[in-house]
A and B are shown apart, each in its own frame.
Chain A
Amino acid sequence: MKSNRISTIIVLLISMLFVQAFSYAQEDEAEYDGYITKLSLSYIKNTNNVKTLRCVITAKKGEINLPLENAELKFYAGNEQSLLLGVQKTNNEGFASLDINNELKLPQDDSGAVLYRVEYKGLENSKDVTAEVSVVDINLELSLEEIDSVKTITVKGTRIGKNGEILPVKGQDLTIYVKRLYTNLKIGEINLSEDEGIGSTEFKSIPGDSVGNILIIAKIEDNELYATVEKSKEIKWGSIVSYDRTSKKRELWTNEAPIWMAITLAIFLLGVWYHLVRVFIKMRKIKKLGEQIEGVA
């Protein structure tokens, strides 16, 4: 029993190391003049199949964490025979990104993964900092259909095999979102089937814009094999929300003030100005009375 527990812990520790080694985004750090330079790399494939490498570089000393601006970063693909993808400089937030040219033939390993690498040479006397991420390129197909009056979201995941054949992405979990004003709203999860790499979920009513449009996003996030991949489509599945504010008369921000408000203000202004005008007339009378006295004197 005891040996079973020990073996379970060892397996867990080994699996954690394995996950770390194949993490979708990697961080590396080097120390110089008390500052520890940290470099992180991540990969995202957006709905238009644009693959982007994103990189953030910072220098930390104690509590101070400074983004490195204008740092020259070199992006590579492949392990032994590296292919230079491009060179970018970081902005004032220490961020740089590079869109990968889809025309390039990228070196893959036996599992079909491409190793992406970013290098920062740093200053003289300081060590180089490198971050890597290994990604298997996959495609997501998103279809939105009404099947037996049920609005259904279907996702199919595929990847290109070593010999150019199309292979299904099996057993992968992905999340379905709807784009909202501030962030994406999670509406469901899909598990791609083990045979065809297809999964589906039902869409339930949700408010859309003034014509009912909503943007549905299928997304694999921070995955150790595929990194971040998303596919989105707009469809008129949302319930129509009326933004006609003129119909809401009682709200303070409507253009039309309620009639009682206009009457109250009119009475207030007329009352004040009526008495003020009478006071001004009295002041004129005071002046005339004084003129008469001066005239007599």
Chain B
Amino acid sequence: MKIAQKNLDNLKKFAPFLESTTTMGWIWIAFLVLIIFSGFAAITYQISEGQIVTGMRDYVSWSLYKVNFIFFMGVGLAGALTSSVLHLVNPSWKKPLVRISELMAIFSLIIGPVYILCDVGRLDRLANVFIYARLASPITWDVIAILMELIVCIVFLYLGLIHNFAILRDYDQLKVSKFRKRLYRFMAINYENTPEQKKHITWSQNVLAVMVIPMGIIVYSVIAWLFGMTKQAGWDSTIFGPYFVIAASFGGIAALIIVLASFRKFFRFEEYITFKHFNILANTLLILAFFYGYLSFSEYFSKWYGFGTFNTELINRLFDFSGYGPWFVYANFIAMLAPMLILAVPKWRTITSITLSAIIVVTAFWVKCYLIIIPTLESQHLPIQDSRLEWIHYTPSLVEIALTMAGFATFCLFLTLAAKFVTVLPSSIDIEEPVDTKL
């Protein structure tokens, strides 16, 4: 009861979220579970029938799965960067953002790589990635970097939650099952908020926060190099690493705004997640929009100006308004201009308008991932003999669409369940004084 006593008022406010679920909450969870089950049915069907049930053929051998992989890894990168930067800079308003961005990062890092498993034709050979790992292969770099990033992010989140678990352990009036109480006790690792314990936690968090930033950048750069290290026109670019990192930060910050707005609306966190938080994120989004626009222009302008045969074919395909043209404009121009137009004018800045521009940016980021993969694979260097129209033009199948929806539903379900297990807003109950420590 010792730690809990300090935060009794806040605990009383937040305990209902942990203790029970409203009818709407159950309906929401059931809806998500239904979508996830459709994804399970789809992957079972794919495994039994083979990848012929997808839209992947000889030309386009990476599909929506790879698009979703890049998308989720990008969201993960933005989540990890936000939480670690906020932890190190330690602004007074950071707390509502920190835990949500940490959770976002971990769930994205878990869901993203699952799509690679969906993309692999022979899952039985998956162990070969480790058994016959070659140090010189970008795929090996990717596996190592993602695993490291995930482990560090989980430990980083856990360190932040120890204090929370100790409070929930000591709060006798919390009406949860005995098993859950025991789980809180186990996870709290005898934390009693002593200066010595706080010092250990702060040191560990600082170290991991410093590690997460370069690791996040490495992970996403390595993903970019999976493309950039090939000779494929459209991917063979020296700026793909920074371009991917900026695009992911851009899309990921927008995703964070949407998640914050959702928590604010559905969990009634108006008191804790305020306009100030949205305003700061909007400024970040605005700056990233300029960087994103600059890198996009640089990437496509140099390709167009160089007039290489295959690059020209790809650029023509991307600007073909009977095909990918509208999507290209949406992903590159509207995504960049929307935040500039909406957020640059102070009068127009409201939580709703910021969330709206975030929705545009997130969807545009997904479309951008699609445009990086699909039209490029449709513009092959080497002709494939006896190729047919359906091999060249990719159309996602119902199986891929179901699995895509299942991924997004899993992300939402994980966030919902996390909010039922721990308090997602640390400021609500964990009132901690800063501790001076050296790294």
- In the assembled complex, the CB of B226 is this many whole angstroms from the nearest CB of chain A, namely 11
Enumerate 6 A-B pairs (CB-CB under 8 Å) in ascending A order.
A183-B385, A272-B211, A275-B208, A278-B204, A287-B189, A290-B189
Residues 24 to 59 of chain A near chain B (Cβ within 8 Å) = none
Q: Given contacts A279-B159, A289-B190, are A257 and B203 in contact (CB under 8 A)?
A: no
0/1 interface trace, chain A 254-274, chain B, CB 8 Å (1 if under): 111110011001001101100
- CB pair B144–A265 under 8 Å, yes or no, is yes
CA–CA, A290 to B207, complex, Å?
A: 22
- CB pair A278–B207 under 8 Å, yes or no, is yes
CA–CA, A271 to B152, complex, Å?
A: 12
- CB pair A276–B152 under 8 Å, yes or no, is yes
B137 at the interface (CB under 8 A from A): yes
B136 at the interface (CB under 8 A from A): yes
A293 at the interface (CB under 8 A from B): yes
- CB pair B190–A294 under 8 Å, yes or no, is yes
- CB pair A286–B137 under 8 Å, yes or no, is no
- In the assembled complex, the CB of B104 is this many whole angstroms from the nearest CB of chain A, namely 22
What residue of chain A has the Cβ atom nearest to residue B135's Cβ? A257
- CB pair B162–A275 under 8 Å, yes or no, is no
B255 at the interface (CB under 8 A from A): no
A121 at the interface (CB under 8 A from B): no
Most chain B C-beta atoms within 10 Å of own C-beta, residue among A183, A258, A262, A282: A282
- Of A262, A271, A272, A282, the contact of B204 (CB 8 Å cutoff): A282
B134 at the interface (CB under 8 A from A): yes
Q: Determine the chain B residues whose CB is within 8 A of the CB of A290 once the complex forms.
A: 189-192, 197
Interface of chain B: mostly helix, strand, loop or mixed: helix
Q: Determine the chain A residues whose CB is within 8 A of the CB of B151 once the complex forms.
A: 276
- CB pair A261–B136 under 8 Å, yes or no, is yes
CA–CA, A252 to B203, complex, Å?
A: 39
What residue of chain B has the Cβ atom nearest to residue A284's Cβ? B189
- In the assembled complex, the CB of A67 is this many whole angstroms from the nearest CB of chain B, namely 13
- Of A252, A261, A269, A286, the contact of B190 (CB 8 Å cutoff): A286
B392 at the interface (CB under 8 A from A): no
CA–CA, A257 to B138, complex, Å?
A: 11
- CB pair A286–B134 under 8 Å, yes or no, is no
- CB pair B155–A289 under 8 Å, yes or no, is no
A283 at the interface (CB under 8 A from B): yes
CA–CA, A255 to B383, complex, Å?
A: 29
- CB pair A253–B159 under 8 Å, yes or no, is no
- In the assembled complex, the CB of A258 is this many whole angstroms from the nearest CB of chain B, namely 7
0/1 interface trace, chain B 118-148, chain A, CB 8 Å (1 if under): 0000000000000000111110010010001
- CB pair A286–B135 under 8 Å, yes or no, is no
A291 at the interface (CB under 8 A from B): yes
CA–CA, A208 to B382, complex, Å?
A: 21
- CB pair A272–B138 under 8 Å, yes or no, is no
Interface of chain A: mostly helix, strand, loop or mixed: helix
B196 at the interface (CB under 8 A from A): yes
Q: Determine the chain A residues whose CB is within 8 A of the CB of B192 once the complex forms.
A: 289-290, 293-294
A204 at the interface (CB under 8 A from B): no
CA–CA, A293 to B3, complex, Å?
A: 14
CA–CA, A261 to B229, complex, Å?
A: 15
Q: Determine the chain B residues whose CB is within 8 A of the CB of A265 once the complex forms.
A: 135, 141, 144
Q: Given contacts A282-B204, A286-B200, are A276 and B155 in contact (CB under 8 A)?
A: yes
- In the assembled complex, the CB of B65 is this many whole angstroms from the nearest CB of chain A, namely 24
CA–CA, A183 to B382, complex, Å?
A: 12
Residues of B within 8 A of A (CB): 134-138, 141, 144, 148, 151-152, 155, 159, 162, 189-192, 194, 196-197, 200-201, 203-204, 207-208, 211, 215, 218, 229, 382-383, 385
- CB pair A272–B215 under 8 Å, yes or no, is yes
- In the assembled complex, the CB of A101 is this many whole angstroms from the nearest CB of chain B, namely 30
Residues 214 to 258 of chain A near chain B (Cβ within 8 Å) = 252-258
- In the assembled complex, the CB of A184 is this many whole angstroms from the nearest CB of chain B, namely 12
A182 at the interface (CB under 8 A from B): yes
What residue of chain B has the Cβ atom nearest to residue A287's Cβ? B189
- In the assembled complex, the CB of A66 is this many whole angstroms from the nearest CB of chain B, namely 14
CA–CA, A287 to B144, complex, Å?
A: 30
Q: Determine the chain A residues whose CB is within 8 A of the CB of B136 once the complex forms.
A: 252-258, 261
**The 3 residue pairs across chains A and B that have the minimum distance between CB atoms:** A290-B190, A257-B135, A257-B136
Q: Given contacts A257-B134, A272-B215, are A285 and B200 in contact (CB under 8 A)?
A: yes
CA–CA, A121 to B376, complex, Å?
A: 48
Q: Given contacts A182-B385, A252-B138, are A286 and B191 in contact (CB under 8 A)?
A: yes
- CB pair B204–A279 under 8 Å, yes or no, is yes
CA–CA, A276 to B197, complex, Å?
A: 17
Q: Determine the chain B residues whose CB is within 8 A of the CB of A279 once the complex forms.
A: 155, 159, 204, 207-208
- CB pair B197–A286 under 8 Å, yes or no, is yes
CA–CA, A90 to B67, complex, Å?
A: 42
Q: Determine the chain B residues whose CB is within 8 A of the CB of A256 once the complex forms.
A: 136
- In the assembled complex, the CB of B194 is this many whole angstroms from the nearest CB of chain A, namely 6
- In the assembled complex, the CB of B165 is this many whole angstroms from the nearest CB of chain A, namely 12
- In the assembled complex, the CB of A220 is this many whole angstroms from the nearest CB of chain B, namely 23
What residue of chain B has the Cβ atom nearest to residue A250's Cβ? B136
Q: Given contacts A272-B148, A275-B208, are A283 and B135 in contact (CB under 8 A)?
A: no
What residue of chain A has the Cβ atom nearest to residue B166's Cβ? A290
- In the assembled complex, the CB of B69 is this many whole angstroms from the nearest CB of chain A, namely 21
CA–CA, A294 to B155, complex, Å?
A: 25
CA–CA, A214 to B196, complex, Å?
A: 78
- In the assembled complex, the CB of B120 is this many whole angstroms from the nearest CB of chain A, namely 19
CA–CA, A254 to B148, complex, Å?
A: 25
- Of B189, B229, B382, the contact of A283 (CB 8 Å cutoff): B189
Q: Determine the chain A residues whose CB is within 8 A of the CB of B135 once the complex forms.
A: 257, 261-262, 265
- Of B138, B152, B189, B229, the contact of A286 (CB 8 Å cutoff): B189
Q: Determine the chain B residues whose CB is within 8 A of the CB of A283 once the complex forms.
A: 159, 189, 200, 204
Q: Determine the chain A residues whose CB is within 8 A of the CB of B200 once the complex forms.
A: 282-283, 285-286
- CB pair B197–A272 under 8 Å, yes or no, is no
CA–CA, A135 to B148, complex, Å?
A: 71
- In the assembled complex, the CB of B84 is this many whole angstroms from the nearest CB of chain A, namely 14
Q: Determine the chain A residues whose CB is within 8 A of the CB of B215 once the complex forms.
A: 272
- CB pair B189–A252 under 8 Å, yes or no, is no
- Of A183, A252, A253, A286, the contact of B162 (CB 8 Å cutoff): A286
- In the assembled complex, the CB of A254 is this many whole angstroms from the nearest CB of chain B, namely 6
- In the assembled complex, the CB of B133 is this many whole angstroms from the nearest CB of chain A, namely 11
- CB pair B138–A275 under 8 Å, yes or no, is no
